[in-house]
Structure 1
Amino acid sequence: MRSRKFSKGKKFIFFLPVVALIAAALGYVVMYLWNCILPEVTHAGRINFWQALGLLVLCRILFGNFNKGNGGPGNHFREKAWGLRSKWDSMNEEERAKFKEEYKRRCGGWGHRNKE
């Protein structure tokens, strides 16, 4: 059997057109949605393709990148949750019961302060 491994150069050659195609598709989707919805709802002007791509870049700058958990703003919370899960798994039953009671004391009544 032949191995189907690509060299880094071949991967890059395929990667570049795929990124350009995805950017173009996203740009056209943003442009289409903007031009179909916002002019009638908010009386905003129509935009062209390059303005739509600019909006995508602006959203990426303001709200973070569009990755799937490889870092970024939301990753901090996933790391904390994973750390809590491993901590929970290493507790014995007595420690878990103590943790649950402390959690109920601190967070039990959402919107209501527990009187101590």
Structure 2
Amino acid sequence: MRHNKRFIGLKIAGFVVLGAACVTALGFGVMLLWNWLVPELFHGPVITFWQALGLFILSKLLFGGFMKDHDKKNSWKRRKWDRMQAKMEHMSPEEKEKLKSHFDRCWGRKWQREEEPKPPVERQPE
């Protein structure tokens, strides 16, 4: 159990380091491109790393946004699940059962999507 927590901690630290490296690379990339092109072409100013990073963030906010696919309908998981459902529609019952048993062996029941709750059934008065 202790080994798992240590592995998760290392994984998180790795993502933090990778994220910082990507942000640094983006900042330096924008700075180098700006300082190479803008002063020569438009007689504009030379910018620093932090100004380049701010410029990048501003441009993402104005033109691209950071999270376009934030709603559930268009999420990556949803599209992947829909593709899997489409593939399963064309399978024979034997093929479906074989695939389900493979997932059960590998992942247990956690691979299954939670079903939407069904509305309560109204009972007829007796």
- TM-score, structure 1 normalization: 0.51
5 Å-filtered alignment, 1:100-115, equals: none
In the alignment, what sits opposite 1:17?
17
5 Å-filtered alignment, 1:25-36, equals: 25-36=25-36
5 Å-filtered alignment, 1:49-60, equals: 49-60=49-60
Q: CA RMSD in A?
A: 3.5
Name the SS for the 2:44 alignment partner.
coil
Cα distance in 2 for partners of 1:64, 1:8 equals 30
Q: State the 1:61 CA deviation.
A: 1.3
In structure 1, stretches of 5+ residues that fail to align are 1-5, 87-116
In structure 2, stretches of 5+ residues that fail to align are 1-5, 87-126
In the alignment, what sits opposite 1:42?
42
Residues paired across the two proteins, number:
76
Cα distance in 1 for partners of 2:16, 2:56 equals 18
Cα distance in 1 for partners of 2:8, 2:58 equals 31
Q: State the 1:9 CA deviation.
A: 2.2
Amino acid corresponding to residue 60 of structure 1 in structure 2:
K
Amino acid corresponding to residue 65 of structure 2 in structure 1:
G
Q: State the 1:7 CA deviation.
A: 4.0
- TM-score, structure 2 normalization: 0.47
Q: State the 1:10 CA deviation.
A: 2.1
